[in-house]
């Protein structure tokens, strides 16, 4: 049987608060297979954002193990985690996080700079993914020359550029109107259909309805983990 892309066992995350310790994650077990499309949901204070930071290797757990694509990332140093983030995880954020004075093409190519690719390879791959997300005619535009939906498409292309193991999207439609949100979610459907593993963090039921599996957190534990029989198309 193939190894899961994500295998988490007994993950805890505590934060000191004065003389006390706040236990945010209280022993999470979670397995995600390659090619799954998962929505992670939960109310404020559920531990959803903390779990997302751990999944994205932006933080390390207090206890437990996290195996990402065969590598134990739960005990890695900051530098090792930075390398894992660059190679294994494609991030899409609510606020786009694009460099304002840089073209769409250069924004998308940026992760490849950190990964050590030469410029011809960066340009070729960035052009390829921008075309994939429907922005082949906007490559030389800067973020302030693009609509919100176009900026999010640039962010999605940047997430794809290094062929990551997982796409981790944090409230990717949070700054978009309803029509544009549907367009972006259809784009995620296409990305998933191409074989990518997608993890979507959202508090919106209609956005989570695009995922094939919905995991709900409450009070630092997984409250439910269900297959969505009729995901939105």
Is 66 contained in some domain?
no
Element (H, E) at 14: strand 6-17
Is 19 contained in some domain?
no
Is 171 contained in some domain?
yes
- For the chain, the domain total comes to 1
**CA–CA dist 145, 130 (Å, integer):** 16
Residues 84/73, Cβ–Cβ less than 8 Å: yes
**CA–CA dist 12, 221 (Å, integer):** 10
Is 2 contained in some domain?
no
The residue segments making up the domain with residue 166 are 34-60+78-227
Is 189 contained in some domain?
yes
pLDDT at 112: 94
Q: Which residues of 171-185 are buried (b: 16+ CB within 10 A; e: fewer)?
A: bbbebbeeebbbebb
pLDDT at 1: 58
pLDDT at 2: 73
Is 115 contained in some domain?
yes
Q: Domain holding 201: CATH number? A: 3.40.50.300
In sequence order, which ranges of the chain are alpha helices (DSSP H)?
A: 48-55, 78-88, 104-114, 119-132, 148-160, 178-193, 205-208
Is 93 contained in some domain?
yes
What confidence tens digit (pLDDT) does each residue in 29-78 have? 999 999 999 999 999 889 999 999 999 999 999 999 999 999 999 989 99
Q: Which of 103, 110, 106, 174 is nearest to 142 (CA)?
A: 103
pLDDT at 191: 95
DSSP-derived letter for residue 55 is: H
Collect the ranges in the chain with pLDDT lower than 70: 1
Is 72 contained in some domain?
no
């Amino acid at each position: 049987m193939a190894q899961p892309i994500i295998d988490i066992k007994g993950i805890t995350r505590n934060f000191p608060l004065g003389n006390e310790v706040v236990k945010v994650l209280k022993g999470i077990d979670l397995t995600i297979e390659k090619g799954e499309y998962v929505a992670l949901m939960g109310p404020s204070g559920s531990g959803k954002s903390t779990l997302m930071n751990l999944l994205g290797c932006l933080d390390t757990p207090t206890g437990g193990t996290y195996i990402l694509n065969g590598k134990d990332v739960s005990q890695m140093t900051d530098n090792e985690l930075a390398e894992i983030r660059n190679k294994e995880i494609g991030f899409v954020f609510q606020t786009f996080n694009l460099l304002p004075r840089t073209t769409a093409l250069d924004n998308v190519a940026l992760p490849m700079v950190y990964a050590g690719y030469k410029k011809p390879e960066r340009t070729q791959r960035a052009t390829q993914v921008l075309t994939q997300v429907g922005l082949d005619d906007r490559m030389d535009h800067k973020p302030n020359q693009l609509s919100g939906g176009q900026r999010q498409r640039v962010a999605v292309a940047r997430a794809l550029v290094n062929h990551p193991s997982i796409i981790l999207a944090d409230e990717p439609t949070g700054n978009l109107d309803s029509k544009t949100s549907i367009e972006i979610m259809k784009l995620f459907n296409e990305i998933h259909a191409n074989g990518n593993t997608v993890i979507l963090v959202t508090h919106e039921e209609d956005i989570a309805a695009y995922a094939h599996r919905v995991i709900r957190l409450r009070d630092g534990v997984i409250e439910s983990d269900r297959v969505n029989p009729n995901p939105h198309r």
